Amino acid sequence: MPDTPVNTLTEAQARTELERLAETLATANSAYFRDDAPVMDDAAYDALKARNAAIEARFPHLIRADSPSARIGAAPSEAFGKIRHARRMLSLANAFSPEDVAEFVRRIRRYLGLPDDAPLPFTSEPKIDGLSVSLRYEHGRLIHAATRGDGETGEDVTANARTVADIPETLEGAPELLEVRGEVYMSHADFAALNARQAEAGAKTFANPRNAAAGSLRQLDAEITRARPLRFFAYGWGELSEPLAATQYEALQRLAALGFSVNPRTRRCDGLDALLQTHAETETRRADLGHDIDGMVYKVDDLALQDRLGFRSTTPRWAIAHKFSAETAWTRLEAIDIQVGRTGALSPVARLTPVTVGGVVVSNATLHNEDYIAGRDSKGAPIRDGRDIRVGDRVEIYRAGDVIPKIRDLDLSARPADAEAYVFPETCPECGSPAVREAGDSVRRCTGGLICPAQAVERLKHFVARAAFDIEGLGAKQVEAFWRDGWITRPSDIFTLKDRFGPGCPRQVKNREGWGEKSAENLFAAIDARRTVPLARVIFALGIRHVGESTAALLAGHYGRWDAFRAAMLAASPEGGDAWDSLLSIDGVGPVLAASLVTSFQSEIDEIDALAAHLTIEDAESRATDSPVAGKTLVFTGTLERMTRAEAKARAEALGAKVAGSVSARTDLLIAGPGAGSKAKKAADLGVEVIDEDAWLTLIGAG
């Protein structure tokens, strides 16, 4: 019955099917939210939810009291207290090939201005596959333990952490304040024994050691955690009252001396080749280590250099995770579907006979674009020896670093005789508009703009996303449902929802499936709370192609106010002129991005104005308001001798300054090294203050 089309189900079948779906989805919810042990991938989950909704729409009188459409996931655990991390817990950028690692090393040398022959030692440590925790010690006593959570705030798992044998309760000779960071994990043997015990007791078993470790640490009853064989490796630290050592390697040794387990396979390496060698060696021994690792982590050894390198928004510049090759599995390609994204891109998706890859059931994989299906790369050169991908093919699936599954290979000998070459559509499957490929673009795009329902709904989903308007209770699923019924067709509709579907209206949100009085009230309150919104979020929320979160922040920082931004976007034209030059003077904004921004903004100005009319848009403030360069626009020119351009720029931005590429009347300060040419002259003409590198370093307190 699960495969019977909804429109042919009998009433009795529908009733049984709704019951089955309610059960399956409830299990999936608890597995995902409560137990960290997903039993299906997102696509399979979405498909079941959609089927449930379709059956409910056809047989409204059969809707169950515990209908899955009435709930939005399962509440994340409220059971644990929250702990705000004194220093954020970040993640790592990934490298998948030796070339990626070489680029990582080159980037660091470039950033620091280190010549190729200057020594640059690294450490190489196995990347343990568990969950990270932060342990805070004050005066040598364990004060609290927290999971990573969203990096800013984690769950308080202190009582549970105290039951882990590798986590010392007290430390001898430690700094007064010491936050130790590391990975809680479970060994293969302990995992197998735990699952055997669970199975015998009729309790649930875990999909893999990582889920088992996470599920065991996040037990409400610490006595259960005590009975679970968890281990801990220390790999780093957070807040400290004094430095542990001068290098990463020595700092780890110091942690070992204090009583922590540190990974015995940690090595100091003098460069790229040595790093890659540790990777190759460890990968071959991977199965014998007794616990899961998913790669090696390389870190700049010198802690003073780590400090100078600092962080990008969510990852350190001084470290990278070099992943091991992914696990793979063979399955059948059942169909190729085309999804239309927010910017009109037609993305082919492989629908697969579900197969388990690395512990997760996979039923979809990306096919990238039409060239990829045809067996060509973006330059027309053959990939997979030029073999194309056809519906019916046996394909090998892999997951690289937990990202979307991909197709690695296909088996031509298993190709059905009647398999036909795939013909990529030249019209949008959602709205029928022509789908065109511009020169140099590997992607075919729907030209329908907002008349295309797929683009319109994807734009709305983007608008309410976490980094955009982030309206509580209005996620992708809800927006889609409102959109289907025509209640919200464009962003500005969100802010009139209450007037049209609030108390006193003939049709009301509270009467919708899955809503009630309280949740509707909460939604209206959440929408009201977002009527005042920072400039950068509004710019990002517009969903313009090439304008991501960091570009939106740059634009907000440059223009400062909504009125100024709006006026500049209307005035700018790729033909040139002041507004265009000003846009291009922003470091990080190139002509392609600028053209996309200006064209979209101008063509959608009516909707943008309608939206802005509902909002109070806050001026952009500089991040660090107490620094001497906060809010100032700086330009660097000539040769800097004590740091590279990249480092100077990152430092200036971290202090709240804007860094522009050219001197204009808006420039506050020019930092000119030796060899400064026309920019210094222009600055002098415009009366812009000019200082040298030493004065700059003194100004920012690095002199």
Question: 217 near 230, Cβ under 8 Å?
Answer: yes
The smaller minimum CB distance to ligand IVH, of residues 306 and 633, is found at: 306
Q: Which residues bind ligand IVH (CB under 6 A)?
A: 90-92, 125, 127-128, 132, 183, 235-236, 297, 316, 319, 321
Phi then psi dihedrals of residue 173, to 5 deg = 75, 25
Question: 596 near 586, Cβ under 8 Å?
Answer: no
With CA atoms as reference, report the closest residue to 294 among 152, 164, 403: 403
Residue nearest ligand IVH (C-beta atom)? 132
Between CA 353 and CA 394 the distance in angstroms is: 10
We find the least distance from the C-beta atom of residue 403 to ligand IVH, in angstroms, to be 13
Number of helices (H) and strands (E) in the chain: give both, helices first: 25, 24
Question: 187 near 290, Cβ under 8 Å?
Answer: yes
User: Burial letters for 464-496: b for 16+ Cβ neighbours within 10 Å, e otherwise?
Assistant: bbeebbbbebbbebbbebbbeeebbebbbbbbe
We find the least distance from the C-beta atom of residue 89 to ligand IVH, in angstroms, to be 7
We find the least distance from the C-beta atom of residue 229 to ligand IVH, in angstroms, to be 19
Residue 13 C-alpha from the chain's centroid: 41
Between CA 568 and CA 579 the distance in angstroms is: 6
The smaller minimum CB distance to ligand IVH, of residues 182 and 348, is found at: 182
Between CA 481 and CA 340 the distance in angstroms is: 18
End-to-end CA distance of the chain: 74
Identified catalytic residue from 82, 127, 477, 658: 127
Catalytic annotation present for 510:
no
Residue type, 525: A
We find the least distance from the C-beta atom of residue 123 to ligand IVH, in angstroms, to be 9
Residue with tokens 């440059």: 558
The smaller minimum CB distance to ligand IVH, of residues 316 and 673, is found at: 316
The smaller minimum CB distance to ligand IVH, of residues 174 and 297, is found at: 297
Question: 346 near 444, Cβ under 8 Å?
Answer: yes
Residue 116 C-alpha from the chain's centroid: 33
We find the least distance from the C-beta atom of residue 170 to ligand IVH, in angstroms, to be 25
We find the least distance from the C-beta atom of residue 270 to ligand IVH, in angstroms, to be 19
Q: Is 609 helix (H, G, I), strand (E, B) or coil?
A: helix
We find the least distance from the C-beta atom of residue 313 to ligand IVH, in angstroms, to be 12
We find the least distance from the C-beta atom of residue 127 to ligand IVH, in angstroms, to be 4
How many other C-beta atoms lie within 10 A of the C-beta of residue 293?
22
The smaller minimum CB distance to ligand IVH, of residues 131 and 589, is found at: 131
Q: How deeply is 671 buried, as exposed, middle or buried, from its count of CB atoms within 10 A (0-12, 13-18, 19+)?
A: buried
With CA atoms as reference, report the closest residue to 602 among 650, 570, 629: 570
The smaller minimum CB distance to ligand IVH, of residues 90 and 670, is found at: 90
The smaller minimum CB distance to ligand IVH, of residues 124 and 343, is found at: 124
Residue with tokens 């390697």: 249
Between CA 31 and CA 38 the distance in angstroms is: 5
The smaller minimum CB distance to ligand IVH, of residues 256 and 699, is found at: 256
How many other C-beta atoms lie within 10 A of the C-beta of residue 44?
18
Between CA 9 and CA 626 the distance in angstroms is: 67
The smaller minimum CB distance to ligand IVH, of residues 255 and 634, is found at: 255
Residue with tokens 């927006």: 479
Q: How deeply is 207 buried, as exposed, middle or buried, from its count of CB atoms within 10 A (0-12, 13-18, 19+)?
A: buried
We find the least distance from the C-beta atom of residue 149 to ligand IVH, in angstroms, to be 11
Active site residues: 127
